[in-house]
Amino acid sequence: MSNVTIDRVRCIETAPAGIRLVIVKVETNQAGLYGLGCATFTQRPKTAVQAVEHYLDPFLRGRNVNEIEDIYWSSQMSSYWRNGPVLNNALSGVDMALWDIKGKRAGMPVCELLGGKCRMSAATYVHASGAEPAEVVDKARGFMEQGYRHIRMQVEVPGQATYGTSSDLQVERSIDGPMSPHNIFEPADYVRLAPRLFEYARRELGDEIELLHDVHERVPPPLAIELAKSLEPYRLFFYEDPLPPEEIGYFDLLRRHSSIPIAMGELFNNPNEFLPLVKDRLIDFIRLHLSQVGGISPAKKIASLCEFFGVRTAWHGPGDTSPIGHAANLALDLCCQNFGIQEFTAFNQATLDVFPGCPRVCDGSLWPNDQPGLGIDIDEELAAEFPFPDHPYNGAWPAIRRRDGSIVRP
């Protein structure tokens, strides 16, 4: 194979669904050959762009595109301080793009380079939320009619900023500024209410549909254990992020108290953070955001580690995962024996137009297009028609607070 080298690494910013996406394009010395990756850190998107264009671009120009593993390690070590979300997202953009290039050169989809397909499609779960249990269940019925078999459910605590519902994420300027009642969240109120949603949902929807719930690390450990026990009768597919990364010492206690399947890990930066929870079999699914851990290369290694301990994959796939990131998720879903489920947020028409080749949804599963590389492209002219929207913090989340004004972890 001829010596193909990196000419330039640059970013494309776009927001076709109103969410800030950062795409990395790795251009090569071979005319028309390039790769695309996702570096979307939507709460701090401009920092990822700076890291790509001011550090990785000059560092990687002239490197052989074949050397994915060495580029991953040399890029990590060149900053000395490693494994933060900004640098991991920047590096992920490059890592995914290099796998895309390797696939295009080989004439194969990326999943074939990683061992080959062991399933045809990837089952997904989608989000149903609302102000009342009846509204959540109505939305779930709509998804079931479209063929989805796994649904995450979140219901609003009346008058509070409840994660995963439309009451969340109101803008707030400071602790001394005007506090909106919608910025308030009381963990105990939420822990009392959430089981009533699932009691109602099981009664209305029956036993066959798989139901999921995300705590989003918002409650103290004793309440997370209490909620796990309260939700057990409703047979959840998984109970997500019951505890924040700072409290992983409590997972052993949670495991002893409840048989509920646990998903964890979307906030982890360093691949080594998974090790204690996986080796002691304290979780059942890894929630991992591919660009947050540095791309396809580290994610595949973590998935292989998990395979030995009976832990399954559940790659993070909300609206702030770009379609390039979804294509990378799907490449791994198809070739990892221990695939569990894929989170998915439907693409709007503008997104489908900006990213030709988006994975297709059919009967609640994602299907690949089997094109070489990641099988997806970007229309840069059209992408430029969707600049980042105005926002007081440029995409960052406002604070959620207890009634006394103190911060709640997101």
Q: Which is nearer to Mg ion, 60 or 161 (CB)?
A: 161
Among 168, 172, 214, 226, binds Mg ion (CB under 5 A): 214
* Annotated catalytic residue 239: no
Quote the tokens at residue 66.
Answer: 């074949």
Note whether 217 binds Mg ion by CB under 5 A: no
CA 385 to chain centre: 25
CB of 186 to Mg ion, least distance (A): 20
| Residue with smaller CB distance to Mg ion, 42 or 75 | 42
Amino acid of residue 194: A
216 given a catalytic annotation? yes
Q: Contact region for Mg ion (CB under 5 A) — 31-39, 61-69, 206-214, 387-395?
A: 206-214
- Phi and psi at residue 150, in whole multiples of 5°? -135, 125
In this complex, which beta carbon is closest to Mg ion, that of residue 266 or of residue 377? 266
Q: Which one, 214 or 333, has the nearer CB to Mg ion?
A: 214
Amino acid 377 reads D
Hey, what are 13's tokens? 């910013």
Residue 100 or residue 333: which is nearer to Mg ion going by CB? 333
The span from the CA of 172 to the CA of 66, in Å, is 47
Strand 360-362 versus strand 365-367 pairing type: antiparallel
- What is the smallest separation between the CB atom of 405 and Mg ion, expressed in angstroms? 25
CA distance 188 to 111: 44
- Mark the segment that binds Mg ion (CB under 5 A) among 53-61, 106-114, 209-217, 243-251: 209-217
Q: Taking a C-beta distance cutoff of 8 angstroms, is the pair 191, 129 a contact?
A: no
From the list 73-81, 173-181, 187-195, 212-220, the region that binds Mg ion by CB under 5 A is 212-220
d(CA 185, CA 189): 8
The residue count for binding Mg ion (CB under 5 A) is 1
Segment contacting Mg ion by CB under 5 A, of 123-131, 151-159, 207-215, 389-397: 207-215
* Nearest alpha-carbon partner for 377 in 39, 100, 107: 100
Instruction: Decide if 369 contacts 375 (C-beta within 8 A).
Output: yes
Q: How far is the CB of 212 from Mg ion (least distance, A)?
A: 10
Interacting residues toward Mg ion by CB under 5 A: 214
List the catalytic residues.
163, 216
